[in-house]
Structure 1
Amino acid sequence: MIDPFDTESLRESILAAWASSPTRLREDSASESDLVRGGYRDRLLTELAQNAADAAQRAGVPGRLAVWTDGNGALHVANTGAALDISGVHALTALRASGKTAADSGVGQFGVGFTAVRSVSDEIEVRSRGGGVAFSARRTLEALRERDLLAPDTGVPVLRLAWPVDAPPAHGFDTEIVLTLRADVAVESFAAGFADEAVDLLLELEALHSIEIDGVVIDCARTELEGNSAEIAIGSRTWRQFTTPAARWLAPVVDGLPVPASPDVLRAPTRSDELLSLPALVIADVPMQPDRRRVLPGVSLDAVAHGYVDFVASLPAEFRVSFVPEVGFARSAVDGALRELVFHRLSCAPWLPGADGHDLVPERANVVADATEELTSVLAGVVPDLVAASLSGARHASALAAVGVHRIGLARLAEMVGGLDREPSWWQRLFDALAPLVVDGVAAEELAALPVPLADGRTVTGPRTTVIGSDAAAPVTWVRLVHPDAVSPLLTRLGAREATATELLTDPALEAALDDLDWDESEDIDGLVSAVLALARAVQAGELPSWLGSLPLEDDEGELRSADELLLPGAPLADLLIEDSPFGVLSTAVVDRFGERALRAVGVGWAFSVLRDELPTGPDHDLDDESAWWSSLSEEPETLLAVRDLDLVRSDVWSQALTVLLDDPSTRAALTDRDGYTAWWIGRHARVHGSRPIAFRAPSDETFAGLLDPLDHPRADELQAVLSASVCESAETARVLLAALSDPKRRPTPAVIARTHTSIATAVAERRIEVSDIDPPDRVRTLVGDVVDASDALVIDSPWLASVVPQEIAVLSDMASGAALADVLDIRTASEAIGGEVLGTGRVSSWDREPGALLACAVMGLPLPSGGVVVHRELVVRLSGAVSGERRVPWWVTADGTVHCTESWERPRGA
């Protein structure tokens, strides 16, 4: 067999060395064993891929690596590139040396790392163009025995003795390594695990372009980008790479965008055991220990870290901050050193996107918390080195703080803009831009000292003391008005009161100004009146506080009177008032100057005026009979809305007055509130057609038809709040209904009579009204409609008595309220006035034993009664008291509660 690498001489020299020094044999055996068990465990594919990458780089060809197993239990690893040469053979057999020269790059072909093959095989072949070599535990053992060199405690260093191999590599490859796998190696799972490593190896070893695992090819495509960047695509995964003299930095790409990588390890160039927490993968040229698992002690990582900031700066601006390492504990000593260097470089180099489009040095930069694009635009000339708005949110706060960016809060920002000389429009832009940041009371409090420009040219500190001007061109003197060009909704949120006409006219400062006004100073009066009435043009009557009625105005006789003591010329209210009413008439010159709308808004009368009081505390509003209304309430009202001066209306014009009240929205609201003062007062004190409105019903309400007359008014159905209710709601209503019931001229139906009695009795039973508040009538209405003396009538309070009480004297509500009705009317109940004795004996039974009872309850939809019943063929009761004699009845209940009935009563007809 041809031996192109003179392996025979190599074997002889090695065997001679072992023979001359048995210690050397033990050292070689121990070294190989240590490397297999320690440094190169689970690195088989990594080490062979490194050899393949070095071979491709030496030959200047695209590196290809293929891995497959055959049916004989052998693993094949083939690659393209430089073939095995004499230096490579020497490196393979030297165990501790590499065939890589000082001029070579890469990791060295067939160096110490080749020892990794021993983790799975004792029989190894290296087939290559121009010859190959084989290593064999069996043949090495035989050679040692032939020389009598094998001591009992001496192992076999398999990778020291080589034999020639004439088998060529697989077609299309330059070198092939064949490993006969030991019996303890699971071939299928072993080879399948290589697929998981292939992606990492293609990423780490630039000379490799593809790796094939059992016929499945994984390609690596590299696309050059601007600068030192490139895009690397391996299968379905993509990375963005940036190359520096000392390292390559890579970020995963998802949906076309770079994203931070998960915690990884240092790759030098392949994976080591040095854990890293950086948000990018790093493949660095770092001196490593021989097994390439750990960095050599004392190695400087400054050159590696120096390039990280350039990598971050190469990324699109919006993604850079995501690549600032998270603050936390280092995962290893190397990680700690590298993180410290990276943070230092990131802090002092320009890469941070600025609001003006330039890259900033983080330790000199400022960021306004949660700033928007609008806010950074306004502050560009105020806050130096301002970070882009997209990075101002809480999501990036930790990263920016880690690289030394100064974070400016709202309170600090308010201080920074204090004393600035800017146009009011600039302030408006600032206020509008700050608005989205004021999300709670804390943020609002931080901006409490924000400067605000006023219309008079001054600038005050804090929006809380200001108001926002209205469109009215009024010489307002009682507030601090914000300059109209600086108005922003933010000011309102920070405490400024929006100075609409209503706001200005309800300001307590105006009330104080009116109280202090000297009516002898005509100039002061004219200025204040002009300002108030100019604003009042935008306000509806009834919207302003009643104290504005003290505004001094001139009447038609040239005298000053309060606005609420004057009526407009031609006011409809004037025709409704009594002759000696306290109202005067406003001067027509004042009306011509300010207009009716403004004058009505401040209290000058046209129709009725309305009083409104939020959270009133008692009957202290100078309203007629207010105390009586207040005492009728079950609880204090939250708002008092009342029409004034109702007691000044003439009694003969109330029909017209009701129309006037309905026509005005403000008085209509008070009139239609049944629980309010206005409806209460009118219902009891007004007179329509000679009677109080409470004595009438609405035409659409038939509850008391025949008892109460419908109100004769064109809008009667809109006046239900002042008319009788459909239920007995008060003692006053009860008195009206009882009077109608006792009036023989009324013709209610039996149903209305019973309904009315029930309504009154229920109100008493539910304690809505007290019996003591009602005088019992002398005459009462019976079921058939007759009006009889109360002493003759009986209230039916038990259903079995209905068949024995004559209808001419029977008064009916419902059984539940019968006792209450008798109390109201002061008449007897039927159960008190009539006694009854059941004659004869019947059949004692129970309801559940009577088919007729079951059927009757089913037909009527009633539950079956419980307990006993006495069934009679014919039930006769001897009556005593108000009604006497013997009567046949369908059923009866005796004093002890026993129920008696007839067979025909308890069995429905036809059953």
Structure 2
Amino acid sequence: MPHRDLADPFGTAALREGILSAWASSPTRLREDAATESDYVRAGYRDRVLTELAQNAADAAARAELPGVLRVWCDGTGLHVANIGEPLDEPGVHALTALRSSGKTGGVGRFGVGFTAVLAVSEEIEVRSRTGSILFSADRTRAVLDDHGLTAPAAGVPTLRLAWPSTTPPVEGSDTEVVLRLRPDVDAGALLAAFRDEAYDILLELPALRTVEIDGDALERTEHDLDNGLREIGIGDRTWWEHTGPSARWLVPVVDDRVRPVRRDVLRAPTRSDEELSLPALLVADVAMQPDRRRILPGTPLDRVAAGYARLVAALPADQRLDLVPEPGFARSEVDGRIREAVLEELRTHPWLPAADGGADLLPDRANALPGLTDELAATLGGVVPGLIAPELCRPRHAPALAAVDVHRLGLARLAEMLAGHDREPQWWNRLYEALTPLVTDAVAAEELASLPVPLSDGRTVTGPRTTVLSTGLQEIGPLRMPWVRLVHPDAAHPLLARLGAGTVTAEDLLADPALVTAVEELDPDDPGFGDPGLGDALSAEALADVVLRLVPLVPPSAVPRELGALLLPDTHGDLVPADELLLPGAPLAEVLVDDAPFGTLGPAVADRYGPDALRAVGVGWGFTVLRADLPTGPDHDLPDEDLWWDGLDDDPETLVAVRDLDLVDDGHWARALTLLAADPATAETLTDPAGYTAWYLRTHAVLDGRPLGHYRFADDTTFEGLLDPCTHPDAGAFRAALAGTSIDDLDLAQTLLDRLADPEASPGPAAIVAAHTALAAAFSSGGLDPESVTLPDGVRSLAGSVVDATDALVADRPWFAGLIPHDRLVVGGPGTATALSEVLDIAVASAVIEAEPAEPGRRTGWDREPAAILASTVTGVPLPRGRLALHDRLVVRCTGALTGEHEVDWWVDAAGTVHSTPSGLAAALVALRETGPSAP
């Protein structure tokens, strides 16, 4: 309808007359209209000025099929609200004045009463449209009432019941403009500020509006479809993701591509109501509302509004989906409780939970959440634990949301049960243990995994780490089949198992296991299998040998139990023979053994497979084998003549280290055997202890050039020089401890020395003669050797180096006799050996066959009174004795018996114990008497 300046295009005059007639005929109707309008303003439509005008603008734009634009600005005291779209028409004017009806057949405002919201800020309202304009005025309404003799009600005049035509057109660029003359108590700036905040909600709630401009600040709504089926809504710098269901639209704010749950809002139908909600998303629903659109109509069904919510959640990135599950808690209203329950039921009955394996989304009641699940653990558990949800949803903060939709919480104990019976490679179990490690944070978690399956080295899988043992250092040799021990497969071994109670063993522990030793000892050469049924499956001799020979390279040779020498291995004929009765192919030991040595040769295939080091560790010979035993208690180590060596020990050794099988060396091959012993560090070590078994055995049994090794001296050792020949073997330095030393521990050496001492062809020096006599005296006097077991020669060796008849020889049993007896008759040993030496050599002691006294009494004096004595004490460091002293310028002793005549000496002790001495003899006397005393033998 074209605009006419002074005309009344909408018939407002007739409308006024009709309304005035009704009021005149019924004052109650006037009061009712005034009260109704007042109630709408004060209650139903309070604070809804922009919302109600925006609804009308949205409906106008929708009917005109135009993108709606709403502009708001202030001009002095006038608030202008302009829009584009279908202009004002006569039914619309009738609806505006009717309070209880609307001329709209679609859109939002169905009841025609929302316009009353403008009365909250204005009492003079002008609606300008390109089809005509109308004016509502409280003052003009009041004047008309006065003109008609009607009294204004106490609630005030019903301003929006009477309309007058206006000639003012809408602002250029708009189809309709509402102008509100603000009351003096209304703050225009605050009102516009509130409108700016409200503009975001209006553009969300009313899709027909594209732009809202508040006092020059324009907000525009943009939207586009996303690949996930959602629509992205942009308003200014804010973003929402929207999903449209059959009866509702759901919108959730988004910041940096991540949803920000709302948690607290109101039902929008489509604009905000007073029905409080606690949902994570904004709900714009098509539900029946009361006329003021603040509350739903009683009995309105709400379950349909949740339809499609699960699709909204399923469209989100996996790690954000649980953010849109309503949080547990009390509902904010009855409506909130009903919608929350409908939403949760929607989520419970539709698949939307992302699967850990990347497959189809899961229904909550078929899903499992493992708290703390990681990507690594999820990848490992794929195909083992059904219905496992994505790891990002298994964090502690998501637990309430998962519980709200009835997702099953999978504990570690249940996980351990679910893993039982699954056949997987050991590497898979290792990955599982690695992935489980971050979840085992305390003793409770460890206890829950008490029944975790563990693959064993022998191919079995058992329940519970506490029943297993972990090996250290066995990864390189691969799995071992040892039925008697629950050894974790090396490819599955992981520190987590130790935390869960698994024990730890080393290769040394496994080799020392009594069950292994028993199994080896019970092997039957005629029965390739072995074992007690209680130990599990029987192992063949070959399988048992494989276990042992793969373990021994991991331990020091000394840690290999000697009982493992009974391990059966095939010889060159294929017969099973104990390892310690075999030699490696090409073993140099074979060159030095007697022809009937009880050794076979190991089969070459076994030698090639395991190598010489492993085989030698269990006793297979190459060179000589070393036996080691800690804290031995007796000669029970199967060493030849071990009991004889043991009898010669003063104390049990702390460790027995000895070379085995020396009794099998051919006497003609000892030179080569000694070379082998010296070349091997293990055997060379045993040669360094003169008191050790190996040196003792070589000294007494090894033969070089027809003589025992112990009858040779080391080339640089002059102890028995001239009596024993030096050893010329090139490795003599290595077995020096096995050569003759300073002592005699066998009869053959004693006999040899006796014979060489009596041999005029020998030419020992005085030191060697004394050393030999000292050693002989010590050997026989200690009880180590029996004097009756040797044959004494007729002659003995004097200090002068001559061989003298034993009947003429004398032993100086008193030190002062040594200066009296001629050197060619004097037989001397070390200090204190005189008696023993005379018994060993069967020669007389001087004091028994010679009587002698000084020819002159000398000058009687005291030791401490003689300068020469003091000087002798100072020089020798020997304290002065307290006995009597007689000094002589020249001391002569008269002798009878085996030695007669007068003999000059430097010092003497007479029968009374008086020391006689020349000044030059005092020092010798002091030294001798310090050791023996005047009457010592």
TM-score (norm 2): 0.57
Q: Any conservation in 2 of the 1:352–1:359 contact (CA below 8 Å)?
A: yes
1:491 aligns with 2:497: yes
SS at the partner of 1:275?
Answer: strand
How far, CA to CA, are the matches of 1:510 and 1:341 in structure 2? 67
- The residue type paired with residue 659 of structure 2 is L
Distance 1:490 1:89, change over 3 A: same
CA deviation after TM superposition for structure 1 residue 227, in Å: 7.1
Aligned to 1:82: 86
- The residue type paired with residue 395 of structure 2 is G
Aligned to 1:681: none
Aligned to 1:392: 394
How far, CA to CA, are the matches of 1:534 and 1:227 in structure 2? 59
How far, CA to CA, are the matches of 2:686 and 2:344 in structure 1? 75
Query: Structure 2: where are the runs of 5+ without partners?
Result: 1-5, 532-540, 566-617, 640-644, 665-672, 691-736, 743-937
SS at the partner of 2:298?
Answer: coil
Q: Deviations over 1:694-730 (max 9, x none)?
A: xxxxxxxxxxxxxxxxxxxxxxxxxxxxxxxxxxxxx
- The residue type paired with residue 239 of structure 2 is T
- The residue type paired with residue 98 of structure 1 is S
SS at the partner of 1:251?
Answer: strand
Q: Any conservation in 2 of the 1:95–1:112 contact (CA below 8 Å)?
A: yes
SS at the partner of 2:181?
Answer: strand
How far, CA to CA, are the matches of 2:433 and 2:155 in structure 1? 86
Q: Deviations over 1:574-615 (max 9, x none)?
A: 9xx99987445133899999x989999xx999999xxxxxxx
Number of aligned residue pairs:
590
Distance 1:584 1:376, change over 3 A: closer
- The residue type paired with residue 272 of structure 1 is S
How far, CA to CA, are the matches of 1:348 and 1:223 in structure 2? 29
Aligned to 2:554: 538
Map residues 661-680 of structure 1 onto 2, 5 A cutoff.
none
Aligned to 2:240: 239
Aligned to 2:712: none
One of 50, 55, 59 as aligned partner of 1:45 = 50
Aligned to 1:290: 291
CA deviation after TM superposition for structure 1 residue 221, in Å: 1.1
Aligned to 2:584: none
Q: Deviations over 1:46-101 (max 9, x none)?
A: 11111111111111111111111112x11111111111100110011001111211
Aligned to 1:747: none
One of 84, 88, 101 as aligned partner of 1:97 = 101
How far, CA to CA, are the matches of 1:51 and 1:599 in structure 2? 110
1:510 aligns with 2:513: yes
Q: Any conservation in 2 of the 1:549–1:604 contact (CA below 8 Å)?
A: no
- The residue type paired with residue 446 of structure 1 is E
Greater radius of gyration (CA): 2
How far, CA to CA, are the matches of 2:228 and 2:367 in structure 1? 26
How far, CA to CA, are the matches of 1:502 and 1:267 in structure 2? 77
Distance 1:512 1:384, change over 3 A: closer
Distance 1:213 1:606, change over 3 A: farther
1:57 aligns with 2:59: no
Q: Deviations over 1:137-181 (max 9, x none)?
A: 111111111111116747310000000001011111111111111
Q: Any conservation in 2 of the 1:549–1:564 contact (CA below 8 Å)?
A: no
Aligned to 2:771: none
Query: Structure 1: where are the runs of 5+ without partners?
Result: 569-573, 609-647, 654-911
CA deviation after TM superposition for structure 1 residue 465, in Å: 1.8
How far, CA to CA, are the matches of 1:504 and 1:370 in structure 2? 37
Q: Any conservation in 1 of the 2:240–2:254 contact (CA below 8 Å)?
A: yes
SS at the partner of 1:134?
Answer: strand
- The residue type paired with residue 483 of structure 1 is H
SS at the partner of 2:144?
Answer: helix
1:256 aligns with 2:257: yes
CA deviation after TM superposition for structure 1 residue 560, in Å: 7.6
How far, CA to CA, are the matches of 1:33 and 1:180 in structure 2? 18
CA deviation after TM superposition for structure 1 residue 281, in Å: 0.7
- The residue type paired with residue 168 of structure 2 is A
TM-score (norm 1): 0.59
CA deviation after TM superposition for structure 1 residue 25, in Å: 0.5
One of 628, 636, 659 as aligned partner of 1:586 = 659
1:420 aligns with 2:422: yes
Q: Any conservation in 2 of the 1:468–1:499 contact (CA below 8 Å)?
A: yes
Q: Any conservation in 1 of the 2:457–2:482 contact (CA below 8 Å)?
A: no
Aligned to 1:355: 356
Distance 1:21 1:421, change over 3 A: same
1:24 aligns with 2:29: yes
How far, CA to CA, are the matches of 1:229 and 1:534 in structure 2? 64
How far, CA to CA, are the matches of 1:366 and 1:204 in structure 2? 38
How far, CA to CA, are the matches of 1:143 and 1:216 in structure 2? 40
SS at the partner of 2:422?
Answer: coil
SS at the partner of 2:554?
Answer: coil
Distance 1:521 1:158, change over 3 A: closer
Aligned to 1:69: 74
Aligned to 2:885: none
Q: Any conservation in 2 of the 1:69–1:214 contact (CA below 8 Å)?
A: yes
Aligned to 2:301: 300
Q: Any conservation in 2 of the 1:318–1:390 contact (CA below 8 Å)?
A: yes
How far, CA to CA, are the matches of 1:557 and 1:116 in structure 2? 114
CA deviation after TM superposition for structure 1 residue 540, in Å: 6.0
Q: Any conservation in 2 of the 1:564–1:605 contact (CA below 8 Å)?
A: no
- The residue type paired with residue 587 of structure 1 is R
Aligned to 1:403: 405
Q: Deviations over 1:320-377 (max 9, x none)?
A: 1221111111111111000111111100111111123201111122222322233333
How far, CA to CA, are the matches of 1:425 and 1:308 in structure 2? 43
SS at the partner of 1:486?
Answer: coil
SS at the partner of 2:82?
Answer: strand
CA deviation after TM superposition for structure 1 residue 422, in Å: 3.9
More moved, 443-452 vs 132-141: 443-452
CA deviation after TM superposition for structure 1 residue 222, in Å: 1.4
Map residues 322-721 of structure 1 onto 2, 5 A cutoff.
322-356=323-357, 357-469=359-471, 470=474, 471-472=476-477, 479-501=485-507, 504=510, 510=513, 535=551, 537-539=553-555, 562=629, 582=653, 583-587=656-660
How far, CA to CA, are the matches of 2:228 and 2:319 in structure 1? 19
- The residue type paired with residue 436 of structure 1 is P
How far, CA to CA, are the matches of 2:481 and 2:308 in structure 1? 68
How far, CA to CA, are the matches of 1:371 and 1:490 in structure 2? 16
How far, CA to CA, are the matches of 1:462 and 1:254 in structure 2? 48
Q: Deviations over 1:821-858 (max 9, x none)?
A: xxxxxxxxxxxxxxxxxxxxxxxxxxxxxxxxxxxxxx
How far, CA to CA, are the matches of 1:519 and 1:362 in structure 2? 61
Q: Deviations over 1:632-653 (max 9, x none)?
A: xxxxxxxxxxxxxxxx9xxx99
CA deviation after TM superposition for structure 1 residue 425, in Å: 4.2
How far, CA to CA, are the matches of 2:194 and 2:188 in structure 1? 10
Map residues 188-199 of structure 1 onto 2, 5 A cutoff.
188-199=189-200
How far, CA to CA, are the matches of 1:302 and 1:346 in structure 2? 13
CA deviation after TM superposition for structure 1 residue 314, in Å: 2.3
How far, CA to CA, are the matches of 1:605 and 1:330 in structure 2? 93
Q: Any conservation in 2 of the 1:567–1:584 contact (CA below 8 Å)?
A: no
Distance 1:407 1:7, change over 3 A: same
How far, CA to CA, are the matches of 2:93 and 2:201 in structure 1? 28
Q: Any conservation in 2 of the 1:529–1:551 contact (CA below 8 Å)?
A: no
CA deviation after TM superposition for structure 1 residue 388, in Å: 2.1
- The residue type paired with residue 12 of structure 1 is E
Over the aligned positions, Cα root-mean-square deviation in angstroms equals 4.1
CA deviation after TM superposition for structure 1 residue 192, in Å: 1.9
SS at the partner of 1:353?
Answer: coil
SS at the partner of 2:262?
Answer: coil
Q: Deviations over 1:513-559 (max 9, x none)?
A: 87x899999999999999778645434699x7xx9799999899999
- Percent identity between the two aligned chains: 56
- The residue type paired with residue 70 of structure 1 is D
